[in-house]
């Protein structure tokens, strides 16, 4: 087996060594991974922040992201749909500031932020397709059904991104 990092990974370590180390852990859970990584001779060790002050700050930032992501709003029932919940905030990139969380209503009202948010949805659909495909080897029938649904979603999303075509003019 040859292991590699997902595209965009920023870890400075050998993914093959890490994959083998992770495989060596029976019934792996995060606590066991951290325990193995405490050994400075492991490749996993390079992937963790061992300065407790920096690690604590990073952990609080992750907690903040989780808190922001679980705040939702109720959308009331109408004649077109049942009541449902939506996330209140989403992450967008703001020029000269970086990534920030903004109310979804504000994001969708700004053409640049809206384009970014919709691109994130498209990327999520593609990511789910990739994940389902990776499970296909183990349950082809179920995953093929899932993949068909995701392909429909992906195609519908692509269609929705295309500019509206003018109505055909009747010919005389």
Q: What is the pLDDT of residues 147-161, one digit of tens each?
A: 999 999 888 877 776
Residue at 118 is within a domain: yes
To 10 degrees, the CA torsion angle through 47, 52, 55, 61? 180
The predicted structure's pLDDT at residue 33 = 96
Q: What is the pTM of this model?
A: 0.70
Render pLDDT for 99-131 as a digit per residue (tens, 0 to 9): 999 999 999 999 999 999 999 998 999 999 999
Mean pLDDT over all residues of the chain?
90
Residue at 49 is within a domain: no
Number of domains in the chain: 1
Phi, psi of 91, deg, nearest 5: -95, 130
Residue at 40 is within a domain: no
Q: Which domain holds residue 127?
A: 100-161
Give the pLDDT band (50/70/90) at residue 169: low
Residue at 132 is within a domain: yes
């Amino acid at each position: 087996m040859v292991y590699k990092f997902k595209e965009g990974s920023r870890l400075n370590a050998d993914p093959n060594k890490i994959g083998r180390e992770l495989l060596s852990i029976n019934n792996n859970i995060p606590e066991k991974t951290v325990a193995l990584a405490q050994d400075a001779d492991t490749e996993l060790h390079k992937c963790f922040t061992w300065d407790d002050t920096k690690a604590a700050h990073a952990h609080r930032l992750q907690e903040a992201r989780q808190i922001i992501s679980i705040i939702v709003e109720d959308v009331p029932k109408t004649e077109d749909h049942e009541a449902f919940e939506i996330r209140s905030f989403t992450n967008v990139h703001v020029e000269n500031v970086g990534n920030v969380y903004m109310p979804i209503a504000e994001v969708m009202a700004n053409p640049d932020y809206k384009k970014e948010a919709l691109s994130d949805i498209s990327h999520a659909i593609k990511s789910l397709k990739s994940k389902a495909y990776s499970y296909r080897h183990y349950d082809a029938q179920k995953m093929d059904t899932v993949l068909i649904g995701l392909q429909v979603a992906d195609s519908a999303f692509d269609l929705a991104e295309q500019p509206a075509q003018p109505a055909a003019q009747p010919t005389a």
